[in-house]
Amino acid sequence: DQQVKQNSPSLSVQEGRISILNCDYTNSMFDYFLWYKKYPAEGPTFLISISSIKDKNEDGRFTVFLNKSAKHLSLHIVPSQPGDSAVYFCAASSRGGGFKTIFGAGTRLFVKA
Amino acid sequence: GAGVSQSPSNKVTEKGKDVELRCDPISGHTALYWYRQSLGQGLEFLIYFQGNSAPDKSGLPSDRFSAERTGGSVSTLTIQRTQQEDSAVYLCASSPRGDQPQHFGDGTRLSIL
């Protein structure tokens, strides 16, 4: 039972354009959402988060949008840079669940120069 | 400052042997997580330690898997009678509290021959 789904295994974007990575979840109890970035042979690194009381959080080139009614969140990267090429994981947790974090399968982003 | 440290970085062993994987979390972090990433897959939750609470073991795939966290710091993940399907990268993460982003180690790549 996949509670967090990233349906696009990969995405290719031209440098300078916007990258949009999508994530859907099924558990309505989730109230804290995060995006992590992972390079090969390294552990994931935290990128940006959003709590369920907000619908948008922005940090530099990265913005996360949350649509609770649709159980959907997205990560926007603009402008995209070649160094952004990595695997991006969406993750979700809930206070009621003790903050056990469930990760999606990841989306591999390729940013072409 | 020191991040999350995992050892060994690589482990090759024969089917049926026991293995121990070690995680040194960031000092002062009360939450510690173990995940598994099989080839081409996302991060599979295994176990979660939070302070002195009983660990959430709901992700352990079988009774061959166990984990301990001694003194609220170092954790070891033990896999008994290893099988080929146990081959994966095992990732450890820690966070100051459960509701804060996790810091990951670079993982242990386990190969079962």
What is the mean pLDDT, run by run of 10 residues, along chain A of 113 residues? 89 97 95 94 94 95 97 98 96 81 94 95
By CB neighbour count within 10 A (0-12 exposed, 13-18 middle, 19+ buried), where does A82 fall?
exposed
Partner-chain residue, chosen from A45, A98, A104, that has the shortest CB–CB distance to B98? A98
pLDDT at residue B34 above 80?
Answer: yes
- Lookup result for tokens 């309505």: A28
Residue A1 is predicted with a pLDDT of 64
Indicate the SS3 state at residue B85.
helix
CATH of the domain at B16: 2.60.40.10
- Predicted confidence band of residue B52 (pLDDT cuts 50, 70, 90): confident
Residues in A touching B97 (Cβ below 8 Å)? 99
Whether B41 sits inside 8 A of A105 (CB atoms) is yes
Q: Which class is domain A4-112?
A: mainly beta
Residue B35, domain extent? 5-53+62-112
Helices (H) and strands (E) counted in chain B, each on its own, are 0, 10
| The token pair that represents A87 in the structure block | 């695997």
What is d(CA B84, CA B16) in angstroms, rounded to the nearest whole number? Answer: 9
What is the average pLDDT across B90-103?
90
Residue B10 is predicted with a pLDDT of 96
B2 against A5, higher pLDDT: A5
Question: For strand B108-112 and strand B88-95, is the pairing parallel, antiparallel, or unpaired?
Answer: antiparallel
What is d(CA A109, CA A11) in angstroms, rounded to the nearest whole number? Answer: 5
- Lookup result for tokens 């789904």: A5
Residue B72 is predicted with a pLDDT of 77
What CA–CA distances, in Å, run from B4 to A44, A53, A79, B43, B71? 12, 30, 31, 17, 16
Q: What is the pLDDT of residues B66-76, one digit of tens each?
A: 999 988 799 99
| The token pair that represents B18 in the structure block | 């026991």
Whether B99 sits inside 8 A of A95 (CB atoms) is yes
| The token pair that represents A97 in the structure block | 């669940």
**Count: domains in chain B:** 1
B42 against A82, higher pLDDT: A82
Least confident of A43-57, B3-17, B88-102: B88-102
Domain ranges of chain A: 4-112
Question: For strand B75-79 and strand B19-24, is the pairing parallel, antiparallel, or unpaired?
Answer: antiparallel
Residue B21 is predicted with a pLDDT of 98
